Amino acid sequence: MNKERIMIVDDEKIVRESLYHWFLDEGYEVDTAESGEAALKKFDKDKFDLILLDMKMPGMSGLDLLPRLKQIDNDCFVILITAYASVPSAIQALKEGAFDYITKPVDPEELNHIVKNALQQKKLKTENDQLKSKIDELIMPDNLVGESIQMKKIFELINTVAQTDTTVLIRGESGTGKELVAKAIHLNSKRKYFPIVTVNCGAMPDSLLETELFGHEKGAFTGAHYRRKGKFEMADGGTIFLDEVGTITPKMQVDLLRVIETKKFSRIGGNETIESDFRVIAATNEQLENLVKEGKFREDLYYRLNVFTVFVPPLRERKEDIQILANFFRQKYATMMNKNIKSISAEAMNFLMEHEWRGNVRELENAIERAIVVGKKDIITLEDLPFNPSHEDLGSETDKSLGANEKKYIFKILRENSWNISRSADILDIDRVTLYNKINKYGLKKD
């Protein structure tokens, strides 16, 4: 265990030596300086936990030295020693950042008590700073990893915009990790101790979306047996994340624009005006500019959302991240399933690197999870992957029609996701009903 370091700064030799031996016997590491200039030279080269500083010295006084010490190391604690204690000088010392002061002649027992208190306070402050740092590290979204130029740029943009309350529009294909980027922005902002509330705008019709966003009063409509808070109200102090914002209808676009601009709204069936302090982050895989030209998306809402844009590129455009992500997911799911899978074979990794990844990071994660489930060895092999060449035998090679290719691709996605309909529909960017219709149309069945 490292000893706590104390420096005694006093122009009187007898004071320096008596305090030096006292604190040396108490188990501290001690150094001395006979003037402010000498102390500054030592402090500039070395680090001390506590400074015992004489207030009145020839040349540079203790009050002159104090701010210069704090400028070098603001975390250093300083106790001033003076033979001429006065209220104004004490107030000035505390304003300059001194922890406390004591008068001469020094009572060693009293000084020892002050020193122990100061060092305890310093220890608590250090532990608190370290704890905050660890918390910040733990709450970063774990799947948001990568070392490509594109991902480094995204990390820079996240760091830049997180410090503000600016509205952010995240763009990119389905499965690229837009929600993870939204969470990273929120968790690195001043709102991180309040909730981030997610709304999937494309997953529900207008009537349900309106209730979801604004809430309702008891009796507002059939089945409204109680008052319900909406997402905007729940996001007070935090962030609301509007996913698939390009899918909302013109009527909802008007309501959304109004609440984003005013931060005020009423529950359905209510007259009370509710105010909520929220930040808006939206995401879309639609080309909103084209929707604006076609009259399907309000231009004023587009500009209100598109204040700061973050584009998340598809995985096929940042292949250098595939190996990092694959090993990240291998470690994640091997730990979750308590399986000792140490690596991915070179053959399997080469295949992963060459795969097109239409479902992006989500598809890669599903593939590795599936490989962990079926794998029998301590290494992921090509045979463990759901789309290795031996599996690609559905359909005739001579049939190049759109229907045949659609059938083959849908079957591939279903197989990769162990026939999880919700997950497969999400990757295919269609709803569950449409996917069921496609399965019936093509007569697809589990292997």
d(CA 46, CA 100): 23
Helix (H) or strand (E) holding 111: helix 108-138
So what's the pLDDT on residue 234? 95
d(CA 190, CA 183): 13
d(CA 260, CA 444): 45
Q: Which one is the CATH code of 316-442: 3.30.1540.10, 1.10.8.60, 3.30.300.30, 3.30.565.10?
A: 1.10.8.60
pLDDT digits (tens, 9 = 90+) for 341-368: 999 999 999 999 988 898 899 999 999 9
So what's the pLDDT on residue 343? 93
Q: What type of residue sits at position 63?
A: L
Is 398's pLDDT higher than 70?
no
Question: What are the start and end residues of each CATH 1.10.8.60 domain in the chain?
Answer: 316-442
pLDDT digits (tens, 9 = 90+) for 14-27: 888 888 998 888 88
So what's the pLDDT on residue 307? 95
Label residues 231-246 b or e (16+ Cβ within 10 Å = b). Answer: bbbbbbebbbbbbbbb
Residues 6+ apart with CB under 8 A from 215: 227, 228, 229, 230, 232, 233, 267, 268
Is the separation of the CB atoms in 338 and 152 below 8 Å?
Answer: no
Give the dihedral of Cα atoms 211, 214, 215, 216; nearest 10 deg: -80
Question: What are the start and end residues of each CATH 3.40.50.2300 domain in the chain?
Answer: 5-135
Which phi and psi angles does 221 have, rounded to 5°? -160, 170
3-state class (DSSP) for residue 41: helix
d(CA 89, CA 63): 9
Cα→Cα distances 257→83, 170, 286, Å? 68, 18, 18
Classified by CATH at the fold level, domain 149-313 comes out as Rossmann fold (3.40.50)
Cα→Cα distances 389→33, 325, 369, 379, Å? 76, 22, 19, 19
pLDDT digits (tens, 9 = 90+) for 409-436: 888 888 888 788 888 888 888 888 788 8
- Which of 95, 90, 8, 101 minimizes the C-alpha distance to 48? 8
User: C-alpha 117: how far from its chain's center?
Assistant: 36
pTM over 0.95: no
What's the CATH superfamily of 5-135? Answer: Response regulator (3.40.50.2300)
Is 67's pLDDT higher than 90?
no
Helix (H) or strand (E) holding 198: strand 196-200
β-pairing, 264-265 with 274-275?
antiparallel
Question: What are the start and end residues of each CATH 3.40.50.300 domain in the chain?
Answer: 149-313
Tokens 């104004």 sit on residue: 88
So what's the pLDDT on residue 134? 52
- Which of 432, 299, 409 minimizes the C-alpha distance to 363? 409
pLDDT digits (tens, 9 = 90+) for 115-159: 888 888 888 888 777 666 554 554 556 678 888 999 989 999 998
Helix (H) or strand (E) holding 52: strand 50-54
Which phi and psi angles does 399 have, rounded to 5°? -90, 105
- Which of 67, 49, 33 minimizes the C-alpha distance to 116? 49
Is the separation of the CB atoms in 9 and 62 below 8 Å?
Answer: yes
